[in-house]
Chain A
Amino acid sequence: MARVLLLTISIVMMSLLSGCWNRIELNQLGIVNAAGVDYGEDGWNITYQTIVPSAMASGTGGPAGNTSQPAVHVFSVQAKTIHQAWNLSSLENPRRIFVAHNKVVVIGKEAAEHGISELLDYYFRNTEPRETVLMLLCEGQASEILKQLNPPEKLPGTSLADIVDEEKRMLAYFPSTNVLEFALRMNSDSKGAWMPIVKLAGSRSEHRETEQQSLEVYKMTSPPIKTVLSGLGIFQSDKFAGYFNHEEGLGLSWITGRIRNTEIPFPCSPNAKDSNKATFLVISSKTKAVPTKEDDHYVMHLKVNIKGNLVESGCPLDLSRPKVIKELEAYLTKEVEKTIFKAWSGIQRLKVDAAGFADKVHRKFPSDWRDLKDRWPEELNRMKLDVQVQAKIKRPGLIQKSFDQLQKEKETK
């Protein structure tokens, strides 16, 4: 019995005397909300926003949630490697940097041109950073983006991530990507990857930028500078290769089948000059890409199935007639095809297989791939795209004729 007691006591003491192992209390954490990665001659420059919890929550205990200080503070660290940068930040930041709750990583143009495989290595090698972090590209320095506040949100990083998510859900112009997706795509056969581009829109001046970086911006109804998504950056492997505009981006979303909801404005007559337009809201879409081989080149057959509602119509058409609906569906089909071919031409322009066709070909013709592998960019250029869109208008809306037409009918009576 005494022996048992002794053992018990020693085990309890062992656990208690270990000094709580690697315990870290919440008030010692510097929770990173967004990170920016820049590259220059001196190596990597990591910028990060740490959350100031007391400025966020209105709980008792700490000072009440007020706007006397911004919800984030931004630090920048220069270091030879990315991980070193995080550790070097202890020179100026009293808290332990905690990146597990990072929402978004913004990559500066120079870093993107240098290549971001080191960043990806950092994400995959360590346990704390998450691979679900959204990736964004910016035109200039990532640090500039991170210093901006984004009213009405208190946390600029979360706000950026929310913008990306919302855009992905509502528009899909600039398909979002997180670290995992980027790495998968980058290491696939096609080696083509992308990330949305974020930029500071508005007339920039030093005064305005300072304002934007302080709480002053919360006092304005319209901040002079806004952080907006403006394009899609295409990557060949881990290096930046070129831009896609929003039409090419949307086409890429169609090709890769990443559309959840999007709006398609389309003309409602064969005459392109006709200014009358209708809007179609996609509620479900499905894309199927099947490659075939023809003589000396490959053909990619894209089958796109779209279902949705008509949410706006400026057309002088009687929508109660099925024939008219069929007609509209045909115009709609043409519009989507046009968008897809825009993306296709973009792909051929940049010579980057962003659509991931290489993987499809590899899977379908595994034996051919050995030859194709080295000359894939040329092969991609020779590839033909065959697009078949099937659009279906499920509901024309609560009213059938447009107000324009009603007006005209009255006049003729």
Chain B
Amino acid sequence: MFQLLRLLLGFSRQINQNRNRPAHSGQTSLPTDIQPGALPVDLEDKISHLQNRMGGSSDFVIRKISSSSSAGPAIAISYIEGLVDIHRLSIIMEALVNSSRNELGDSLRAEGWIKEHLPVGSIHMLHTENHLLRSVLGGNAVLMIDGLRTAFSANIAGGARRSVEEPSSQTVIRGPKEGFTEDIAVNLALLRRKIRSPDLRLESRILGRYTQTQVTVAYIKGVANPEVVQEISSRLDSIHTDSILESGYIEEFIQDGVISPFPTLYNTERPDTVAGGLLEGLVAVFVDGTPFALIAPVTFFRFIASSEDYYQRYDISSFLRLVRFAAFFVALLLPAVFIATTTFQQEMLPTTLLITLAAQRENTPLPALMEALIMELTFDLIREAGVRMPRAVGPAISIVGALVLGQAAVQAGIVSAAMVIVVSFTAICNFVLPAINMSASIRLLRFMLMILAGNFGLFGILAGIIPILLHLTSLQSFGIPYMMPLAPFKFANFKDLFFRAPWWKMKNRPELIGKENMQRAADEPAAYAEKAVDHKRDSLK
């Protein structure tokens, strides 16, 4: 509410301009890297150096390996317990123990030897202590050899990970049931499985001084707007922070309007949603350690749509979309309109309804505004309790919520039955919206509108809606107007807005979002194939 009022005052623009690059100013001195340093030659030196650097952490393991034949230099392997795959580690160990190490004397031959003898996919040469540590902390096993200034990393990352499961926050009836996991490699693989094209580009970077989190930007070259890709990359590069624990960190750093209740990035744990977005020309941001990927740029209407809209038949999904639009308005306005009409504009109600409502209000002690605020807050409390509480006490909460707060409160005459109906209907409508972050922002706005309605009636609601609309139309997501295609008006994009046109009617990607290679379907295969070839030639240049 505060944010919106601030908007009302017209401060948003200035503030927006001031914070677009939050981390750029002042913080440039923060080092993102561990200080570089060359590795010592002696193995014992190396080991003690590393032990020292790791502070003797108990999960940091350095194991010296003696060979069966005594010839050759001493070897040590270091890794972090739990980050590596024990099975593959033992295979490496076995290989090291059983082979002769005569060739390990100099670094050039050593690399060849290791690649030859170790049954591991990727092996890298490490030159600095810095790289070595990062490699170890990234889940690699690092091989250190006495007498060499270099070390070798073998990627045997593994350990306990959650497997691919059905997404818990965005379920569908029809559509793929797999969801992202906390492992970025798995997530990217899930995406690759959806889009098997060399044009799917993944650009990774490490963010977070302490967490060293991998953040990957994904887009389809030739479909995504290069300016947007550039913009997202540069915004990501300007993040200087200690930690990235979830994509929410990234979202707040790179979003456009900071003083806005509306989200300008879409988050999802569904690979098909990300794939669909990329194919429309959007850019996705993956963050290691969270199943939630971000998509940008997005418009307001993406938060009303569900990925299932594209899998159901178009008539059904069009209807469901209209239902969701209705739910959006109900969730935003119903309590406010109820308060306004029952306390100010009673003439707006049909007589019989007015009498029924008046009868229920006969003995209620609180004014309608307070009643509504209390019930809304109560609902939010129950909801919050439902999310946080241990599973075992779930039924207790629902009994308390439904029976005590609903039925008993009405029977005791503390709240009117109509108010309970309004609040619960609003709550249901709120959950109809597929995007949780959008429904959360609606909740905030609803409170603001309720207070306005309680003070000024329908005029108050209008006084609340106008700034919201002004804000929505001025908001942008990475250069794309938030209310597109309504404002600016793009008739071509209406095919996938209030209704979803059948797939064979949606031959082009939405305007402004996808910039190059607008065509995504054609009547004649020949014309379409030619186009694709053309585009491939372009991308080669």
Are B343 and A60 touching (Cβ within 8 A)?
no
B2 touches A8 (CB 8 A): yes
**A27–B362 touching, CB < 8 Å:** yes
Tell me the count of chain B residues lying within 8 A, CB to CB, of chain A.
Answer: 39
Say which one of B5-13, B143-151, B192-200 lies at the interface with A: B5-13
Q: A8 — which chain B residues lie within 8 A by C-beta?
A: 2, 5-6, 9
Q: Assess whether B451 is interfacial by the CB under 8 Å rule.
A: yes
Residue of A nearest to B369 (CB): A20
Q: Does A398 have its Cβ within 8 Å of any Cβ on chain B?
A: no
Whether A128 sits at the interface, judged by CB under 8 Å, is yes
Q: Which of A96-104, A116-124, A175-183, A314-322 contacts B (4 or more CB under 8 A)?
A: A96-104
- Choose one: B351, B367, B413, B456; the contact of A25 (CB below 8 Å): B367
Shortest beta-carbon distance from B428 to chain A in Å: 21
How long is the Cα–Cα vector from A60 to B412 in the complex, in angstroms?
Answer: 9
Q: Which chain A residue shows the least CB distance to B455?
A: A15
A221 at the interface (CB under 8 A from B): no
Q: What B residues does A101 contact at CB under 8 A?
A: 346-347, 351, 354
B410 at the interface (CB under 8 A from A): yes
Q: Scoring B residues 1 to 33 as 1 if CB is less than 8 Å from chain A, else 0, what string do you get?
A: 110011011010001000000000000000000
Min C-beta distance of A316 to chain B, whole Å: 50
The answer, among B6, B344, B417, for a CB contact under 8 Å with A22, is: B344
Determine the distance from Cα of A318 to Cα of B15 in the docked complex, in whole angstroms. 90
| A370 within 8 Å of B (CB atoms) | no
Indicate if the CB atoms of B355 and A31 lie closer than 8 Å: yes
Query: How close is A65's CB to chain B, nearest CB, in angstroms?
Result: 8
The answer for the CA separation of A26 and B344 in the assembled complex, in Å, is 9
- Chain A neighbourhood of B367, CB < 8 A: 20, 23, 25
A5 to chain B minimum Cβ distance, whole angstroms, is 8
The chain A residue with its CB closest to the CB of B340 is A23
B342 close to A (CB within 8 Å): yes
A399 adjacent to chain B (CB < 8 Å): no
Give the residues in chain B near A25, CB-CB below 8 Å. 342-343, 361, 367-368
Query: Across the interface, do B11 and A15 meet the contact criterion of CB distance under 8 Å?
Result: no
- The answer to whether A259 has its CB under 8 Å from any CB of chain B is no
Q: Is the CB of B416 within 8 A of A61?
A: yes
Q: Are B354 and A61 in contact (CB under 8 A)?
A: no
Question: For B8, what are the chain A residues with a Cβ–Cβ distance below 8 Å?
Answer: 11
In this assembly, does A406 line the interface, its C-beta being within 8 Å of a C-beta of chain B?
A: no
Contact B342 A26 (CB under 8 A): yes
Digitize B358-372: 1 where CB-to-A-CB distance is under 8 Å, 0 elsewhere: 111111100111000
Chain A residues with CB under 8 Å of B364's CB are 27, 61
Q: Report A-chain residues with C-beta under 8 Å of the C-beta of B455.
A: 15-16, 18, 20-21, 23
Interface of B is mostly: helix
Measured CB to CB, the nearest residue on chain B to A102 is B351
Within A325-349, the residues touching B (CB, 8 Å) are none
Is B358 within 8 A of A100, CB to CB? no
Measured CB to CB, the nearest residue on chain A to B413 is A61
Contacts of A1-48 to chain B: CB distance below 8 A: 4-5, 7-8, 11-12, 15-16, 18, 20-27, 29, 31
A119-148 Cβ-contact flags toward B at 8 Å (1 or 0): 000000000101000000000000000000
Q: Is A184 an interface residue (CB 8 A)?
A: no
| Minimum CB–CB distance for A182 against chain B, Å | 21
* Residue in A27, A57, A98, A130 whose beta carbon sits within 8 Å of that of B356 in the complex: A57
B485: interface (CB < 8 Å): no
Contact A31 B417 (CB under 8 A): no
Q: Are B5 and A12 in contact (CB under 8 A)?
A: yes
B454 interface residue, CB < 8 Å from A?
Answer: yes
Q: Are A15 and B452 in contact (CB under 8 A)?
A: yes
Does A390 sit at the interface, judged by CB under 8 A? Answer: no
Provide the bound-state CA to CA distance between A15 and B15, in Å.
25
Q: Map CB proximity to B onto A58-89 as digits: 1 under 8 Å, 0 otherwise.
A: 01111101000000000000000000000000
Give Cα A128 to B348, complex, Å.
11
Does B411 count as interface, using CB distance less than 8 angstroms? yes
CA A321 to CA B451, docked complex, whole Å: 73
Is the Cβ of A60 less than 8 Å from the Cβ of B411? yes
Residues of A within 8 A of B456 (CB): 15, 21
Residues of A contacting B351 in the complex (Cβ-Cβ under 8 angstroms): 31, 101, 103, 158
Q: Is A51 an interface residue (CB 8 A)?
A: yes
Hey, which chain B residues are within 8 Å of A54, CB to CB?
Answer: 359, 362
B355 pairs with A53, CB closer than 8 A: yes
B6: chain A residues within 8 A (beta carbon): 4, 8
Q: How far is the CB of B368 from chain A (nearest CB, A)?
A: 6
A59 and B356 contact, Cβ closer than 8 Å, known pairs A12-B5, A26-B346: yes
A59 and B360 within 8 A (CB) = yes
Verify A20–B454 contact, CB threshold 8 A.
Answer: yes
Contact of B362 among A12, A15, A62, A100 (CB under 8 A): A62
**Contacts A4-B11, A20-B343, A25-B342 hold; do A62 and B368 have CB atoms under 8 A apart?**
no
Task: Return chain A residues, CB-CB under 8 Å to B9.
Answer: 4, 7-8, 11
Q: Is A387 an interface residue (CB 8 A)?
A: no
Q: How far does the Cβ of B421 sit from chain A's closest Cβ, in whole Å? A: 11
Q: Are B359 and A53 in contact (CB under 8 A)?
A: yes
Interface centre among B351, B367, B451 (most CB of A within 10 A): B351
Could you say which residues of chain B place their CB within 8 Å of the CB of A215?
Answer: none
A-B pairs, 7 with minimum CB distance: A100-B347, A57-B359, A53-B359, A53-B358, A62-B362, A26-B361, A26-B358
Interface residues of B (CB under 8 A from A): 1-2, 5-6, 8-9, 11, 15, 342-344, 346-347, 351, 354-364, 367-369, 410-411, 413, 416-417, 451-452, 454-457
Q: A56-B356, A60-B410, A60-B417 are in contact. List 20 more A-B contacts (CB 8 A).
A: A12-B5, A15-B455, A15-B456, A20-B367, A23-B369, A23-B457, A25-B368, A26-B354, A27-B358, A27-B362, A27-B364, A29-B346, A31-B358, A53-B358, A56-B359, A57-B356, A59-B356, A62-B360, A62-B361, A63-B362
Q: What are 20 A-B residue pairs whose CB atoms fall within 8 Å in the complex?
A: A5-B2, A7-B9, A8-B6, A15-B451, A15-B455, A15-B456, A20-B369, A25-B342, A25-B368, A31-B354, A53-B355, A53-B361, A56-B356, A59-B356, A60-B360, A60-B417, A61-B361, A61-B416, A61-B417, A103-B351
